[in-house]
Amino acid sequence: MAEISAAQVMELRKISGQGMMDCKRALAEADGDIDEALAILRKKGLATLEKRAGREASEGAVICKTDAEGKTAVLVTLCCETDFMANSDDFSTAAEAVGDYALACSADEGVETVLETSIDGKKFSEVLTEVVSKTGEKMEVGDYARFGTSGAGLIGTYVHFNSKVGAMVEIEADSEKTATQEVLKQTANDIAMHIVAIKPLALDRDGFDSATIEREKAIAREQVKNKPPQIIEKIVEGKMGKFYKETCLVEQAFVKDDSKSVAQVLAQAAKAAGGEAKIKRFERFEIG
């Protein structure tokens, strides 16, 4: 067996980020071959992933990144088992990396898209395996969404200071000139903050399927079943109106000024920007 020098151990540690003893053992098993030792460390990480696959990863962070032009944004969650891990430097490094990989994806086809994306010849799945190998704790990409827009579109984003919840919203303006105005950009970000705080269930009334609507109506009817039959439907209609105002993004009272709805706030900002705008879609992710 080849003699393993301290310099070799330090070199492997620098490349892999693993502990000194893990590097020394891997080098000894690989008879001093750096590449083989890296493969051994990777196998260790994969084994740890498999061993801990059934454990719950309910901690972590929400990461949001936007490209330089502001026309593409991604929202992704990186999950782990403990809050201690979520606050570690190793996790922070992986979280920063997952944002870069998510932004480098060519499409939104689920978390596998992120895991299989390569940057400088290295897949994110390999990055994740290395961190798992080093920490011994399960980590996984939980959710992933990608918004891409062009021309008269813009994307607002917001991640809460605790990194546990974040949102992005796509706005369509009537012209590229309107979309580039600072007042509309700020409002888009404010609406993303509203989404984080108020948790809308749908963009508008059309966003609910018929089963959900019928269920809510049934609940409303049950609540007023002892009222005269001729007024029950009017009461149900009123309750449904309240339901929509509480759950539809465009109808919700704006979190920074509850005298206006989100739709009214956007219309006001668009007018100040010299045009009109509407919300196209939104996404909200939360850890835990």
On whether both 137 and 82 belong to a single domain, the answer is yes
- pLDDT confidence of residue 17: 58
> What CATH number does residue 93 fall under?
3.30.479.20
On whether both 88 and 68 belong to a single domain, the answer is yes
How far is it, in rounded angstroms, from Cα 36 to Cα 69?
Answer: 42
- The backbone torsions φ and ψ at residue 17, rounded to the nearest 5 degrees and listed phi first, read 80, 5
Residue span of the structural domain in which 109 resides = 55-148
Residue 177 falls within a domain, yes or no?
no
Query: How does DSSP assign 155-212, residue by residue?
Result: EEEEE-TTSSEEEEEEEEESSHHHHT-HHHHHHHHHHHHHHHHH--SBSSGGGS-HHH
On whether both 63 and 45 belong to a single domain, the answer is no
Residue 210 falls within a domain, yes or no?
yes
On whether both 38 and 78 belong to a single domain, the answer is no
On whether both 134 and 91 belong to a single domain, the answer is yes
Residue 200 falls within a domain, yes or no?
no
How far is it, in rounded angstroms, from Cα 269 to Cα 126?
Answer: 44
> What CATH number does residue 22 fall under?
1.10.8.10
How far is it, in rounded angstroms, from Cα 11 to Cα 9?
Answer: 5
Residue 199 falls within a domain, yes or no?
no
When divided into structural domains, the chain yields a total of 3
Helix (H, G, I), strand (E, B) or coil at 154: strand
How far is it, in rounded angstroms, from Cα 147 to Cα 283?
Answer: 9
On whether both 86 and 142 belong to a single domain, the answer is yes
On whether both 107 and 44 belong to a single domain, the answer is no
On whether both 83 and 27 belong to a single domain, the answer is no
pTM: 0.80
- pLDDT confidence of residue 263: 98
On whether both 83 and 23 belong to a single domain, the answer is no
- pLDDT confidence of residue 226: 87
Provide the β-strand partners of residue 146.
Answer: 74
On whether both 44 and 60 belong to a single domain, the answer is no
- pLDDT confidence of residue 50: 46
Closest CA to 167 of 137, 188, 140, 138: 188
On whether both 61 and 125 belong to a single domain, the answer is yes
Residue 75 falls within a domain, yes or no?
yes
On whether both 66 and 103 belong to a single domain, the answer is yes
- pLDDT confidence of residue 228: 87
Residue burial 133-144, b: 16+ Cβ < 10 Å; e: rest: bbbebbbbbbbb
Helix (H, G, I), strand (E, B) or coil at 279: strand
Angle at the Cα of 207 from the Cα atoms of 60 and 209, rounded to 5 degrees: 105
Closest CA to 213 of 243, 233, 250: 243
- Please give the chain's pLDDT, 288 residues, in tens: 567 777 777 776 666 556 666 777 778 888 788 777 777 766 666 445 444 555 666 899 999 999 988 899 999 999 988 888 899 998 999 999 999 999 998 877 778 889 889 999 998 988 888 887 777 777 888 899 999 998 899 999 999 999 999 999 999 999 999 999 999 999 999 999 999 999 999 999 999 999 999 999 899 888 888 888 889 889 999 999 999 999 999 999 999 999 999 999 999 999 999 999 999 999 999 997
Residue 214 falls within a domain, yes or no?
yes
